[in-house]
Each structure stands twice: as C-alpha cells, then as structure tokens.
Amino acid sequence: MPTTPETRTIKVGALTRVEGEGALLVRIRGDTVAKLELRIYEPPRFFEALLRGRPFSDAPDITARICGICPLAYITSACQAMEDALGAPVEGALRDLRRLAYCGEWIESHVLHVAMLHAPDFLGVPDAFAIAETDPDLVKTALRLKRLGNRILEVVGGRAVHPVNFRVGGFYKVPNRDAVKALAEPLRWGIEAAVGMTAAVAAFDFPDLDVAATLVALREDGAYPIDRGRIVSDRGLDVPVADFGRHFGEEHVARSNALHGMTAAGEPYLTGPLARYTLNHDRLSPLARQAAAEAGLGPECRNPFRSIIVRMVEVIYACEEALRLVEAYTPPEAPAVPVVAGAGEGHGASEAPRGLLYHHYRLDGEGRITFADIVPPTAQNQKQMEADLRAVVEANLGADDATLRWRCEQAIRNYDPCISCATHFLDVRVERG
Amino acid sequence: MAKQPPRRPKLAVWKFASCDGCQLTLLDCEDELLEVAGHLTIAYFLEASRATLKGPYDLSLVEGSITTPDDAKRIQRIRRQSRTLVTIGACATAGGIQALRNFADVDDYVRQVYPRPEFIRTLPRSTPIRDHVRVDFELKGCPISRHQLLEVIAAFLAGRRPSIPEVSQCMECKRHGTPCVMVTRGLPCLGPVTQAGCGNLCPPLGRACYGCFGPMETPNTASLAGWFAASGTDSAAIRDLFRTYNAAAPAFRRESEAQARTTSSHADDA
C-alpha cells in the first residue's frame, strides 16, 4: 500500500516585477499538481460601466487610464472603434503618425520589460539595479533605448504616460517637421543598440516549454501588425476585428478580478509577442529576421521563456519602422479628419505590447456611449498562463521550494502580464455549445 | 557632498487602485534612475524588484485610491511603517477616474462589468489616501510629472519641503506665451482652475486643459462654469468636464454636482 503522498504548497503572496497585483498558489500532492491558481486581486475599477453616458470623444483618454504602461494601445483601439462607429476612417499620413507613436510605445514597454522586469530572472538577481552593478553598460543602454521610446511618444503625443495629443479622427496638432526629423539620428543608434541587446538576451539559458495553444494576432498586408489588422490564428482563422466576439469569449472565476479569455470552443489561446512573431514572421524587416535567426529563433517560436528574444526582435523592427516613418514625414495639412457625433456601433483592435487589445462601443444619437466592452491581452492570456505554470511545475518537481517558486514567477513574467489592464471588463457573453 | 548620511534612507512604493503610470514615472526617470537608486535603499518596490526589506520605511510613495475593504486596512499598516508618506497622482490624491462610481450605484457598476457579482468585493466609493491616514505631501497629476517627482525625492533627501507651485495652468500659458484657447478659439478650458505642473502640454496643441492635475488652491469653478455656459457649452458637457480624473476632488465634485442639478432640472422642464 502506497504511503500518503507528501503535500507541498508553493505560494507567491505578491507577484513582483509585473504591472499590478496578483498572487499564485500551487499545491502539489506527491508528483501531481493538485491545485494551481493565479489570483488577481488588483481592485476592479469598472471602466466599461463608468464609460456609459460619456461622450464618444472621452473614450481614448479615459481608457488610457486603464494602463500607464501602454496608454497608447488603449487610445488607438478606442479611436479606431469610434472612427468605425462614426464612419471616419483615419488613413495616410495621420495613420502613419499614429503608427510612429505606437512604435515608441513598443520600444518603451518592451525594453522596460526585457531589461528591468524579465532579465533579472535569467541572471538570478532580484532586479535591474543589481544588474547595473555587474553590467552597467547593459542597463544604461536599455535605459537610453527606453528613453528613446518615450521621446517618440512625447514628440507625437505630448507626454509619454497618458499622452494628450490624440483624439478620435487624428490629432489636436501635428508635430512640426524638425521635431520629428530630430528622431532619426537617435533611431539609427536605437537599431544598433537593439541588435546588441537581442544578442545579449539570446545568450541566456532557456528552459524547455512548448505552448500548444492556439496563437492569435493581428495581421495586415505589407507590414508587421502594430496599430491594426485582421484577426488571424494558426488554426486558419482570418476575420475582421468586428467578428472578435463571435470567436472569443470570457469566463469569470472566483479567484480573479480579471475575466479569463478563451476561444468559442472554451480553449485557452495565446496573444502577444510569440503569437505575433509566429503569425507574422514574413512581415518582419530583413534585419529583424536576421537578428532573430542569429538569436536562434526559427520562423515560429512557441517557448514563452524565449519571448524575451522576440520582444527584442520587435524592438529592432519598431526602431526601423519608426525611422522609416520619420524619414517619410511631411506634416499633414489637417490634424484630424472630421468626425460627426451620432449613433453607431464600432470595433477597434491593435497590438498592445502584451498582445491583442479589442474595444467595442455602441453610441446613442448624441454620440454618448451606451455600451463598452474592452478585452485586454493579459485577460486573454490568463488561462494559458495557468497552463504554462502547470507544465513548469510538473517539469521541476525535483526542485526545492525556493527554486520552484522563482521559476513559477519567471513563467508568469514571460507574459509581461499587465494586471492593471486585466482587471476590468465587460459584459461577458460566453456562448457555449 | 562630503558629508554622507550614516545610512541610505529606505524607499517604499505602494500601489492601490490605479494604472501603475505614476510609479512607472519613477522608472521613466531614465537619466536619473541609477543616481536616485544610489541615494536611497529601494526597500519595497514590487514593480521593480523581487527583493523586499521589512519596514519601517523612511519615505513611502503611495499610488492609487482606496476602493476595497482590505485596502482600507492595508493603508493603515503602511502609514504605521512610514516616517514620511507622500501620495502620488490623481488616484491617490483625489480618487482617480474610478471615483466616477461615487456618483453612481456601485452595485450597478459591478453587475454591468462582472457576470458573477458575488465574487467581487468593493467599496461604494473610491477615496483618496488622505481620507484614511495622515499624508505628509500630495503630488498631483494624472500622471504626475517626472520633474516634480524628482523634486519631491530631492527635497526629502535634503530634509526640506518640496517646491511645487500651486498656481493655475493659466500662469503656465502666460509664462510660455501660449495664446489662450478660450479667448482665441472659444474652447471650454479648465486651465483657470487647474494646478500647473504638467509642463504646459495641452493649450500649445490647441487643446483645452482637461484638468488632469486637479484643482488649484481656492479655484473659482462657478465663475468659470458661467463663462462656459455663456459661450454655449451646455450643463451636461460642463458636468462631464469637471468629472474626470479628479472628479472627487472637493472643488471639482461640487461644481459637477451643481451642473448635474442644472442638467436634471432642464430635463424636467423639457
């Protein structure tokens, strides 16, 4: 008769080096995971409810306040949803300017995550301040690159956190030519710095882990997806953004103030750098593709631990793309297309640094919001994060508690989870069967 | 600089209901971050470090508002462990955008957002930190200004009070020679009642100030609202202008409630 299996409990009371508040509980009985819960205790802020009754024009600035790390993702998805609702598409030079700013946000957010939040796990130190003691050049380069991302946001948007120059239809004022052109030289440096950092992170040790989940990302002609695209998956999905709700849903579980995303079939899916990269490898620039190959990545990457490399490859692309847009910049004649308040329904999606960010609104005859639905990437990834954690725990059962705990934290940080974003959503419409 | 303090003061950064943007501002001090880290022991900063030290802390920066019963208790513990406590940002100083619930029924909000309302524990109002504990200094803004944050830290290290002007945004426009958007474009601008400090961002873009730094000292909101009404802004729109990131700051709250009363009496007339 077998002895009663030993029970171990691994607890992470407060996750660190993530945006927002979460915790993890793992219970292991013998060599099986008896319980695994990622708890989100970040207090809810009820954005979808507080938007009701507000004018359509408030949505970009108010939803920006969901996340201080990726405000432009919220601004962009909200603007596009409102422009869809009110029949005012933004194209050409105005759209390019939005994309330029979005490149800045990718650079700022990705470099923050790579150097300050994620790299310490691979180096076995508690934070980037400790890296600065042993490798000050790496941290200084990262800070300078992050600053460049913020600088782009300041030039185009007026401010890095909660920029003020964006509105439904375009901008309040287009930036002047000289200010934009002055970004070119720092961006040329940025491309080289990003290539160097890609090689540096590629030298880390990567545990084995293979995500089998459906990968979901935006995709569009001729460019790597940043500010817009159609929704595609590695299982053949290819639909307009307006069809999001038909293919994806959410469920509410007791342990979490964030709703868990899932496919219409109830399966977990993955959005974010791995999904973007794998579904859009052919859309990367030659230099970014080459850097990826030299860093040991094939055209697909399904190991979340390697997302740190993918983020750096995306930083290379974002710097190159920003440089291209800067060099082509001529101030548009009008800062915005005309937008007339009225009734409508609209959808918008963009690729936040952490993945697909979907907005959906309905407006009354005066252009006031009657319904809002916001689905952030971290909520979509939560189910898959738990699946990864289970695999990581099972692969490391022999490790002592402290090591296992750290490895679990690292597995969570693979997703650059933004818990502030994940906590608040939507009227859920989970459709089953 | 010959005289170094005997030990580096311990810095703690705490988060309540918020977007993380204000504590990110500390990490956005790219040029100064390593120097700041050299003058302080970063004892508790979950967004930046896995290593934490036990209190007491010499300087606590608090981001976010109080919205849950647990957080109302947690801020008391933090206050007890903090020699100096500074609140940063509109959530911590005024309740943030999530204080729009204060004007609605929070149970209704919960039902609108969550399919299983019974899983959610929340308070009916979002309140600033000073409603719960003594606060040594309040740094306003949605988000705070990087320069003002560095000034607060420098002042703390020097043992002096931070030098943060409490004048209106109008003063900033005058200083920068920015044409007044109310005069030249007829836009309803909150600049006359909003504290300066953002760095004069919106009016130079031709955009009216939307009050993200909250009310200045003794603002005359009623007079300004009268000007808005005279230039054709209806009371519902004026209400919404005062009801954003600093909606629960007393001066803005009172004005938005006055406008809401006007709006509903007009609706009754109609």
For the domain made up of B10-158, give the CATH fold. Rossmann fold (3.40.50)
pLDDT at A4 over 70: no
pLDDT at A226 over 90: yes
Query: For A188-212, what is each residue's pLDDT tens digit?
Result: 999 999 999 999 999 999 999 988 8
B 225-264 near A (Cβ less than 8 A): 237, 240, 244-245
What pLDDT does A433 receive?
A: 26
pLDDT at B155 over 90: yes
What pLDDT does B245 receive?
A: 98
Please indicate if any CB of chain A lies within 8 Å of the CB of B51.
yes
| Mean pLDDT for the stretch of residues B229-257 | 97
For the domain made up of A53-380, give the CATH fold. Cytochrome-c3 Hydrogenase; chain B (1.10.645)
pLDDT at B214 over 90: yes
What pLDDT does A291 receive?
A: 98
Please indicate if any CB of chain A lies within 8 Å of the CB of B206.
yes
What confidence tier does B167 reach under pLDDT thresholds 50, 70, 90?
very high
Which DSSP string do the residues of chain B spell out, in sequence order? -----SSPPEEEEEE-BS-SHHHHHHHT-TTTHHHHHHHSEEEEETTTBS----S-EEEEEEESBB-SHHHHHHHHHHHHHEEEEEEESHHHHH--GGGGGGGS-HHHHHHHH-S-GGG----SS-B-GGGTS--SEEE--SS--HHHHHHHHHHHHHTS-------BHHHHHHHHTPPPHHHHH-----GGGBBS-S-S-SGGGT-----TT-B-SS--HHHHHHHHHHTT--HHHHHHHHSSTTTTSHHHHHHHHHHHHHHHHHHHH-
Instruction: Write out chain A residues lying below 8 Å of B21, CB-based.
Output: 65, 67-69, 71, 161-162
Looking at the partner chain, which of B20, B67, B116 has a beta carbon nearest the beta carbon of A252? Answer: B116
What confidence tier does A431 reach under pLDDT thresholds 50, 70, 90?
very low
| Cβ A408 vs Cβ A393: under 8 Å | yes
Peptide bond into A377 cis (omega under 30): no
Distance from CA of B217 to the nearest CA of A (A): 24
Query: For A16-48, what is each residue's pLDDT tens digit?
Result: 676 667 788 888 888 888 888 887 777 888 899
At A240, the amino acid letter reads P
Distance CA A253, CA A235 (A): 27
pLDDT at A343 over 90: yes
pLDDT at A430 over 70: no
| Mean pLDDT for the stretch of residues A73-94 | 98
| Mean pLDDT for the stretch of residues B33-49 | 88
Cβ of A58 within 8 Å of Cβ of B122? The answer is no
What pLDDT does A255 receive?
A: 65
What confidence tier does A399 reach under pLDDT thresholds 50, 70, 90?
confident
| Mean pLDDT for the stretch of residues A5-25 | 73
Q: Where are the domains of chain A?
A: 53-380
| Mean pLDDT for the stretch of residues B57-62 | 98
Q: What percent of chain A stands above pLDDT 90?
A: 68
Question: What secondary structure, in 3-state letters, does chain A show?
Answer: CCCCCCEEEEEECCCCCCECCEEEEEEEECCEEEEEEEEECCCCCCHHHHCCCCEHHHHHHHHHCCCCCCHHHHHHHHHHHHHHHCCCCCCHHHHHHHHHHHHHHHHHHHHHHHHHHHHHHHHCCCEHHHHHHHCHHHHHHHHHHHHHHHHHHHHHHCCCCCCCCEECCEECCCCCHHHHHCCHHHHHHHHHHHHHHHHHHHCCCCCCCCCCCEEEEEEECCECCCCCCEEEECCCCEECHHHHHHHEEEECCCCECCCEEEECCCCCEECCHHHHHHHHHHHCCHHHHHHHHHCCCCCCCCCHHHHHHHHHHHHHHHHHHHHHHHHCCCCCCCCECCCCCCCEEEEEEEEECCEEEEEEEEECCCCEEEEEEEECHHHHHHHHHHHHHHHHHHHCCCCCHHHHHHHHHHHHHCCCCEHHHHCCCCCCCCCCC
| Mean pLDDT for the stretch of residues A393-399 | 87
| Mean pLDDT for the stretch of residues A170-190 | 98
**Average pLDDT, whole number, for chain A?**
90
What pLDDT does B80 receive?
A: 98
Least confident of A252-261, A320-329, A348-357, B199-208: A252-261
Least confident of A14-18, A59-63, A351-355, B57-61: A14-18
What pLDDT does B270 receive?
A: 56
| Mean pLDDT for the stretch of residues A257-284 | 88
Cβ of A164 within 8 Å of Cβ of B116? The answer is no
Instruction: Write out chain B residues lying below 8 Å of A112, CB-based.
Output: 24, 27
Please indicate if any CB of chain A lies within 8 Å of the CB of B129.
no
Q: Where are the domains of chain B?
A: 10-158, 169-269
| Mean pLDDT for the stretch of residues B171-189 | 96
Cβ of B21 within 8 Å of Cβ of A252? The answer is no
Distance from CA of A30 to the nearest CA of B (A): 29
User: ipTM of the predicted structure?
Assistant: 0.95
Q: What percent of chain B stands above pLDDT 90?
A: 80
Distance from CA of A417 to the nearest CA of B (A): 11
Instruction: Write out chain B residues lying below 8 Å of A403, CB-based.
Output: none
Instruction: Write out chain A residues lying below 8 Å of B113, CB-based.
Output: 44, 46-49, 424-427
What confidence tier does B1 reach under pLDDT thresholds 50, 70, 90?
very low
Cβ of A173 within 8 Å of Cβ of B206? The answer is yes
Query: For A142-176, what is each residue's pLDDT tens digit?
Result: 999 999 999 999 999 999 999 999 999 999 999 99
